[in-house]
Amino acid sequence: MLFNRIFVRICLAITFLSFKTTAQIVLSHPMERMVFQRNNANQGTITIAGTYLSEVDRIEARVVPKWSGSGTSTNWTVIQNNPSNGYFSGTLTVQGGWYQLEVNAYKNNNLVDGKIIERVGVGEVFAIAGQSNAQGGAGVSTSANDDRVSTIDYTDAYSDYNRLPIGFSKLTGDSTAIGPFHYVPWAWGRLGDLLVQRLNVPVLFYGAGHGGTSSDQWSKSSQGLPFDGPDWIRRDHGAPYRALENSVSIYASLTGLRAVLWHQGESDPDTFFETYYNNVKDVINKTRENSEHSDLAWVVARASVNPGEHINVIIGQDALISGFYVNGYSVPPVPNVFAGPNTDQFQGGPYRSDGIHFDTYAGQIEFANAWDASMNNDFFNNSNPMMPSPLLAITLACSPNNPSSPITLTVPGSYSQYYWSNRDNTDNEARGRNSSGCCNYTFLPPAGYERLNWTTLPNTNSVTVAPARFAASARKPSKKTLFSPIINLSTFPLPTTPTITTSVTQVRPGESVTLTGSGCNTTYLWSTGATTNPLVVSPPATTSYSVQCKTVYCSVSSTPKNITVSSCFPNSLFLTNSVANTQSPYQSKQIIQSTQKIQATGKIDYTAKNRVELLPGFESKNGSVFKATVEDCN
């Protein structure tokens, strides 16, 4: 019995290893811990994409809740049949929740490979903006405890497009960044816990707040206008607005977005309320332009303490939410702006050790609780979330005669800017840098993040390149940026040019001919769709046949061969063998010579322009039907 158990385990191990070594698909989308914005019916669309390394004809996917009650499983669903251009891509509609994603690939109903993404979600996505009480800084930070709270663990003060990684991490510990700009969790980890426990869906935060910034600086930077300010606000890199632009136009294109959470006002103690209103309205409008989502929701906190309260700022914030009407003077509310918390109510040492910042655990608890209370059912029911954008399509063409650069990739459609990636950023290229009043921070994207380099290849809609791992992105005039799937063409075998030989070049109706391909280093694919070689065919009429030599991504065709179907042959015929049934006639524009034996059940006609010769050995048995005619044929 012990031997049998060992034998079974060895067999299972060999079977498992055999399956793994023949793994033939690579998933590139979604990434681990990615959260897709749900709609107001608690549904979201998960986009699934990757590369096939061998031929597949069907891709299926399903989700399974990570634990009981964390979501609703789906059935296996076909997301694409017969993928082409080197990649597969499709979507799966899913209820809000936290899931394991499973993807299977098939060929002729046989499982080729299967892949799993351990954590992926449909839930709520937010971009945080404002100043230091939004960004965080010196002092404590409150980690998320729930596994369903995620972020981008990366920060870069330069907001350089080429540096921005794509990847997601749990918002844990006191040093996790909230990318693309925040370098600490601050109080957002606790807010994430409160939201996921109340909503029972995962939450993803983008961080775009910038400490020490005024509404005027936000307004002018969003418009690309110059402004005065300290050197640590990198005006030359679009700060403070650029990180928010990247959040709503780049990252939210991939995940979708519920709202911008705005906490700012401490740097505007002397700003007239209507000026504040107009400054922030400029930023709101620019995010809606950049995201191409005209009613992108904003949640505006009432925040002004520095270290005392400033009613002018609060009036400006209230005007954004509900308008301002006094003695016939009015300022209309900005549509789709919702009331955030009044954080001015929390003052003093227990909450703000310096009188301004929520840099204590007690302060961050109240800060997060107030944000959670403001994001009530009214907000979720009446805000209109921005949903993820579809991935860019890419077409692939190959040139076997150009082996150094055999691949041509093209993005269909018209965009204002194109970017291609054929390599990852080096550590130096990928390293993000940021600083606070006390410290400098450097961040490398964590393992598993995509750190695509967008600077090596030409910025055109089509590139001809050597084998590599590729991705494309395209930017619209609005700055909204779309991404293609990542296509791994690092291994790109090229086919050789095949030739065809035929057993004959002309057959009578109903006869067959053998086609033989040669010179192909991989798989033959005939113009009939057949893959066997040689191939026997019975053409119903005169037909041209060709054969492709086909790799997974590339093919090259032979010169076509024409098979004539006609009983009238241009050359003389010498006929042998037996005729046992009714056959198509033999016709020649020259001579027919025959030693055939016409059986009693046989029937055959000969027609020749010059003569018909029945040579010794020819026989027509009693009961057969035989006719010979001397005349031309067509």
Phi, psi of 345 (to 5 degrees): -70, -15
CA distance 153 to 169: 6
Q: Mind listing the pLDDT tens digit for each residue in 68-77?
A: 999 999 999 9
pLDDT score for 621: 93
Mean pLDDT of 391-414: 95
* Res 497 pLDDT > 50: yes
Mean pLDDT of 172-190: 94
Angle between helix axes 215-223 and 273-291 (nearest 10 degrees) is 40
Beta-bridge mates of residue 387:
none
pLDDT score for 23: 60
Q: Are 296 and 287 in contact (CB under 8 A)?
A: yes
Single out the residue of 252, 277, 253 nearest to residue 265, CA to CA: 277
What is the three-class DSSP state of 95? strand
Alpha-carbon torsion (436, 441, 444, 448), positive or negative: negative
Predicted TM-score (pTM) of this structure: 0.89
Element housing 377 (H / E): helix 377-382
The DSSP secondary-structure symbol of 367 reads: H
What is the three-class DSSP state of 345? helix
For the chain, what is the mean pLDDT?
94
Residue 83: other Cβ atoms inside 10 A: 22
User: What proportion of the chain, given as a percentage, has pLDDT over 70?
Assistant: 96
What is the three-class DSSP state of 245? helix
Residue 96 CB partners (closer than 8 Å, separation 6+): 38, 42, 43, 44, 71, 122, 123, 199, 200, 201
Mean pLDDT of 88-104: 98
Mean pLDDT of 550-576: 95
Single out the residue of 319, 321, 364, 304 nearest to residue 131, CA to CA: 304
What pLDDT band is residue 385 in, cutting at 50, 70 and 90? very high
Mean pLDDT of 548-574: 95
CA distance 587 to 274: 99
Mean pLDDT of 25-46: 98
The DSSP secondary-structure symbol of 257 reads: B
What does the buried/exposed string (b/e) look like for 3-13 if buried means 16 or more CB atoms within 10 Å of the residue's CB? eeeeeeeeeee
* Res 344 pLDDT > 50: yes
CA distance 447 to 309: 44
Residue 482 in tokens:
């779309």
pLDDT score for 437: 61
* Res 555 pLDDT > 70: yes
Pairing state between β 506-507 and 561-565: parallel
pLDDT score for 186: 96
Element housing 196 (H / E): helix 188-199
Pairing state between β 513-518 and 535-537: antiparallel
What pLDDT band is residue 16 in, cutting at 50, 70 and 90? very low
pLDDT score for 139: 87
CA distance 52 to 30: 16
What pLDDT band is residue 159 in, cutting at 50, 70 and 90? confident
* Res 265 pLDDT > 50: yes
Q: Are 205 and 178 in contact (CB under 8 A)?
A: yes
CA distance 505 to 495: 27
Q: Mind listing the pLDDT tens digit for each residue in 463-479?
A: 999 999 999 999 999 99
What is the three-class DSSP state of 505? coil
pLDDT score for 54: 93
Look at the block and give the residue holding tokens 């920060």: 155
* Res 6 pLDDT > 90: no
Q: Which residue has better confidence, 7 or 408? A: 408
CA distance 278 to 495: 63
* Res 5 pLDDT > 90: no
Residue 500 in tokens:
């065809």
pLDDT score for 175: 86
CA distance 87 to 85: 6
Q: Which of 78-82, 225-229, 484-488, 543-547 has the lowest mean pLDDT?
A: 225-229
pLDDT score for 15: 37
What is the three-class DSSP state of 599? coil
Distances (CA, A) of 175 to 163, 285, 430, 557: 20, 33, 19, 58
What is the three-class DSSP state of 333? coil
Instruction: Extract the runs of DSSP E, i.e. beta strands, from 369-492.
Output: 395-398, 407-410, 417-421, 432-435, 440-443, 462-465, 469-475, 481-483, 487-488
Residue 603 in tokens:
């029937």
Residue 497: other Cβ atoms inside 10 A: 15
Residue 192 in tokens:
């994430």
Beta-bridge mates of residue 440:
435
Amino acid at 574: F
Mean pLDDT of 609-618: 95
What does the buried/exposed string (b/e) look like for 321-343 if buried means 16 or more CB atoms within 10 Å of the residue's CB? beebeeeeeebeebebbbbbbbb
